[in-house]
């Protein structure tokens, strides 16, 4: 039986939300103020019919929108969309009692996502390549993607050929494709074990298509050219499936915010340093200590720093900061610090930073909830939040990055 629903607000995952006596009802692809008819099942609307549209509804940019699960809010006008992203950070801070002004979100342009993970599956002679439908394992075969870089979109046909060649299992698997300065870096995961004949065919295909590198489950199958990106002025040969910010523009915006905040610092710590996104830029003007738990990423950073002699000294240490954070005593040598942890945040490390006298701290996060928790710890320890900037690098998705800048006045001796 259908019910008539009026959408109250946009939820954290991009669904329209209706408040009912039985609890919230989530309506996919509905916007605040809209009236819909739908059947309700376990708190979600199904078989939805739009009766009254919001003035903020616009034409989606992609023909696959509504079927493909990659984007959730392509139909929302840009100003309202960016306000929604900003509000996610605002609400997270309010929930933790952190008082700070949140700036307008920095927008992300279409066709800039340089790292995309496709789902692929071979069904006989047919190959499916695309993204999963929302809340489903069904693969939506895509012919376009307004989020991804033109270089990745132009290679969709070649990537289907590769998926057909590398599939050694009937099960779905993933192809993570990164556009680098030297070509596409492709990392397959779960495609199955390659036989010798199949391996040779895959190598020939990858070379013929001009892919920079192909790896499978961490093993490099073929590397025609070493995939390379620039972190500031420093060229970095990234490892297979290594972490990289999703868009170059977002990376540069975050690096600029961090760099300006730490300008003038003489000895800087970069915690959860990855392959050097911040460390190699900061080393232009300061000595840098970089801590990272991933040995391969850390080796990449170390090699890049050693090969670029104009940098200030960079010390790289393999360290699991979740289980062995830098202690307050160790932090005493630094006058600036940046941390960019995974989604889980950096709670234990922040407890040590909060007790320290590091005068300037930059926090970078892809999770407003854990960022707010970590900032609350730092504020309780005497830090003052001077700036928070949301950055939209995951276009039309529920995700938002943020950079928070903090200062602490030194204690009087």
Q: Which segments are annotated as binding site for S-adenosyl-L-methionine?
A: 245, 272, 292, 340
CB 231 within 8 A of CB 280: yes
Conformation bin of residue 110: beta by default, left when phi > 0, alpha when psi is -120 to 50: beta
Binding residues: 245, 272, 292, 340
Could you list the beta-strand ranges (E) of 232-281.
Answer: 234-237, 267-271
Which residues lie across from 337 on neighbouring strands?
269, 361
Give how far Cα 223 sits from Cα of 29, 94, 116, Å. Answer: 42, 48, 19
In the structure encoding, which two tokens stand for residue 120, read together? 């692929």
Q: Give 313: exposed, middle or buried? Use CB within 10 Å, 0-12, 13-18, 19+.
A: exposed
The yes-or-no answer on residue 366 being catalytic is yes
Q: How far apart are CA 28 and CA 135, in angstroms?
A: 11
Sign of the torsion formed by the C-alpha atoms of 348, 353, 354 and 356: positive
Instruction: Please identify which of the residues 145, 265, 350, 366 carries the catalytic annotation.
Output: 366
Give how far Cα 86 sits from Cα of 90, 101, 361, 405, Å. Answer: 6, 11, 22, 16
Give the count of beta carbons closer than 10 Å to the beta carbon of residue 197: 8
Could you list the beta-strand ranges (E) of 111-182.
Answer: 115-123, 126-132, 139-141, 173-180
Q: Enumerate residues 6+ apart whose C-beta is below 8 A from 200.
A: none
Residues annotated as catalytic (active site), given as ranges: 366
């Amino acid at each position: 039986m259908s019910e008539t629903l009026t959408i109250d607000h946009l939820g954290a995952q991009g669904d329209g939300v209706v408040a009912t006596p039985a609890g919230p009802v989530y309506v996919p692809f509905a916007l605040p103020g809209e009236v819909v008819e739908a059947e309700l099942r376990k708190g979600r609307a199904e078989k939805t019919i739009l009766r009254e549209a919001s003035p903020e509804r616009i034409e989606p940019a992609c023909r696959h929108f509504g079927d493909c699960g990659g984007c959730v809010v392509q139909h929302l006008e840009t100003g309202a969309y960016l306000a929604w992203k900003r509000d996610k950070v605002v609400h997270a801070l309010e929930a933790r009692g952190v008082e700070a002004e949140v700036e307008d979100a920095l927008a992300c342009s279409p066709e800039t996502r340089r790292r995309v993970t496709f789902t692929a599956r071979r069904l006989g002679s047919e190959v499916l390549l695309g993204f999963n439908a929302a809340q489903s394992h069904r693969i939506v075969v895509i012919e376009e993607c307004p989020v991804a870089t033109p270089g990745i979109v132009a290679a969709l046909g070649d990537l289907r050929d590769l998926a057909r060649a590398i599939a050694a299992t009937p099960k779905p698997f993933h192809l993570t494709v990164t556009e680098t300065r030297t070509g596409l870096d492709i990392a397959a995961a779960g495609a199955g074990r390659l036989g010798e004949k199949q391996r040779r065919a895959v190598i020939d295909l990858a070379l013929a298509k001009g892919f920079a590198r192909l790896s499978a489950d961490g093993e490099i199958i073929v590397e025609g050219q070493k995939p390379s990106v620039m972190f500031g002025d420093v060229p970095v040969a990234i490892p297979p499936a290594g972490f990289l910010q999703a868009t170059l523009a977002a990376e540069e915006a975050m690096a600029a915010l961090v760099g300006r905040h730490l300008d003038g610092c003489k000895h800087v710590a970069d915690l959860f340093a990855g392959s050097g996104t911040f460390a190699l830029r900061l080393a232009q003007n300061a000595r840098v200590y970089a801590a990272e738990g991933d040995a391969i990423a850390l080796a990449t950073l170390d090699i890049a720093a050693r090969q670029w002699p104009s940098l200030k000294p960079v010390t790289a240490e393999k360290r699991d900061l979740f289980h062995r954070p830098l202690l307050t005593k160790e932090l005493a040598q630094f006058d600036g610090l940046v941390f960019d942890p995974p989604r889980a945040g950096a709670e234990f490390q922040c407890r040590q930073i909060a007790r320290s006298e590091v005068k300037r701290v930059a926090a970078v996060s892809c999770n407003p909830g854990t960022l707010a928790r970590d900032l609350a710890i730092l504020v309780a320890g005497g830090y003052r939040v001077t700036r928070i900037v949301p950055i939209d690098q995951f276009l039309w998705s529920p995700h938002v990055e943020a950079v928070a800048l903090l200062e602490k006045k030194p204690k009087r001796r």
